[in-house]
Structure 1
């Protein structure tokens, strides 16, 4: 089995551009006394629903290299940040401060750091109009305290935007899909992170129901399934791996798993069982014994997003048995979006009972047996996906399981043909932005997976 992660350094894709604010920011933290300073900020609302929204902030260093930073702004209508990634968020009244994470504090000239957040809103959601870095208001360019006003300006244009991605920062997209319902999914929220380097420390930090952020560092080698309690964020540091075992999210609520690489698991990589409000986001899955991510036994309100599934056979199951309808009917509502099914063989996903299960803006590359199967009373909406070199893209029924319902629309096919559809699917209750299907290959291949 492979024990190394294939890394990509491409620009992360935003899901929508509902609201955007651009500004230059002067003065960066830990800048030498005589250093030229300057910064530009892009603020974007990526998704919005009746009680909350997701946002991205990209900070570009236009001045000299720095070792750490703090970004500030004020919300104008009572918005409150509930969760952040790529940085640590604090809020006092309207004032928000984002401090760099451990992996993105150092910014060379032209480098960027990207953070994401979820927040609540009511009534209106205006974009912040002013940003600061270490208390200094945005200036829109660079300054040099030692320069003579008569000195000619540099030959390069300091306000020209550099590339808008930091290869060491996971792409930050707001929560979309079923996990945004039923009160939303915030995991450990703003709890201080506990760093773990062993399976025993991970299980200890992730136990119980108290809010906790557990940061996995390095490679954890283990066996079996590691129990994850409620109100937890399991977050991988750059390059973090779990090898030989998996995470068991059982009888839990409000759990996030992000930025981890899984390989050679001896059961499932992630098992979601009798659990609600679970968000599996921006992970890489190589190959192991059983499912990469399986959702079963009345689990509900699950979003599986921006993951790279690489080569697994029985990849991702929704509903484990045709005989479990008494427990599963009305549950198993799962959203799959912006995942890369890369040479996987089957179950991408295979669905029982869940209705609606929403499969949108995913990339299917050289999938072997089949892409999506709707079986046993399921209702699956397949839309805006990119299918490439995949003979059986989607169909009804599988094995001994009878046909469910499947509606397909706005998909893009390259070396693939449209699959089997039939029946009707319940309506999607949440807001989402659909990327053009023909663009999904470039968006997902550059943005999916752990960093």
Structure 2
């Protein structure tokens, strides 16, 4: 800004020498050496007014973007018009921010600005200055690296760029589009503070002995890392599917350690001067073939130790970069945690973190063995995991990253495997435990949560529940579905609320509140009246007739679908072991699970330890075609003869169906 006037009068000059120990803003110099000298001069002074001239000389590494602050020592001192910087005052505190054309200051460079000020009584020179938030005192220094605990805490919450740079052999091979700056901006704008970028290197390595990473592939990985850092995201990179592509053959294959060393040596060199916001993870879900667990622990210790030593040896920011070490299989069972703890003890490195993965209690995560609800078994598995990692690592001062979490078979390509309300309960408690335990979490997203083409959430309710859990608890209910009969009188229906410390606020539909007469709340029981449900059901067409939401004093709302249905019916079929379908009129209902037993009542088909088969792997509903598909994988383990199938539906209805296999021929009919 150009000064409106300057006046010549008494000149009072003073120089203030300072050190800038603040952080630089370039992507590769977060811990750069910094320093500055500040000269503050009263260029002219007259009764009640003066002109201030300020020169800032950068003595450290180049910076891009600056703020100089000081406090006037006398009451009545203030600033008016300014030039060369935007200078504002709040009381006696003054902040000068760079103009668009002088944001960068090279090493040894100087920027100047000035202002017209006012004073009364006296006009002393300020005693001290800070640049970018750090006091100036007159030399250069390198600020201490952030601790491992601070870095990991700053990464919460995190998101995985799954099935992308880890895809085999290339970025788009598994159906996701090329990673864009817009995608990363979307992730950051949704509140995520870090991104895990899984990378598979196996198809991009040259021959022994150098195992040179393909330059084009490395440049692409570097480009994605740079874009993410520019979006103010912490970044974690790793060796991903390399774990089963070649690393699992160690030590039988004597070249594994050489290749592993070569890859991490090249990555350490490439990213040596990147800021502390970039984090390295040694290997994803490590395992080794043909050896005992005790031998696996020793082999993983060898790889993790080699990883830490060679990264540290490259110096630069790698000397204090946070390095993330996994347990065997990235599993949180106690023996895995204990083995990794021994590695931490031996390394005695303060810039290390532990990582485990969590996909919930397996029967619930894939819907097998009747694991259809978020019940006590699922909850015990979740809470036990957090309790163990806390006692094993956090209580020892070692930060923890849950590098992947979700449910294994929650996927928009496999709808119905996990019922949404049950998944919402899992999300709510998982995030609650993560937040109260102090663990950083990175949701695994291979495209099943964020649509990378439209940059919208595939299920906004699921996204909202995740986001709410970062800061508070949300209430849930026994179900997110109320099933009503297609015909006849509609009764009142009740749900049990799990308030999680909140209070119930009301029911809403399309943003408007339902009348108080539409429902009652007694303790933790919410009851919708027969009259309200009759109105909401409308013409009672099969399927979802209406959706309402319960709102609470904190967290996100709980959705409730009002559904009209009839008893599902089925008819006879003929097929083969590779192609058999059960004709099914679902009549508004949704399939929950399937049981299969032989005539003697023993389990039939795969997973012969349970009568309940795996949803989608062994059977699959097709609501458009009005069939239930019996998969080839199911018949692969079914004996010739009769098998009784029981189909369970979410309304509580069930059907019984008998199939008979003879070689490759299958026939079936309702019982």
Normalised to the residue count of structure 1, the TM-score between the two structures is 0.28
Greater strand fraction, Structure 1 or Structure 2: 1
Structure with the largest fraction of helix: 2
Higher relative contact order by CA 8 Å / sep ≥ 6: 1 or 2? Answer: 1
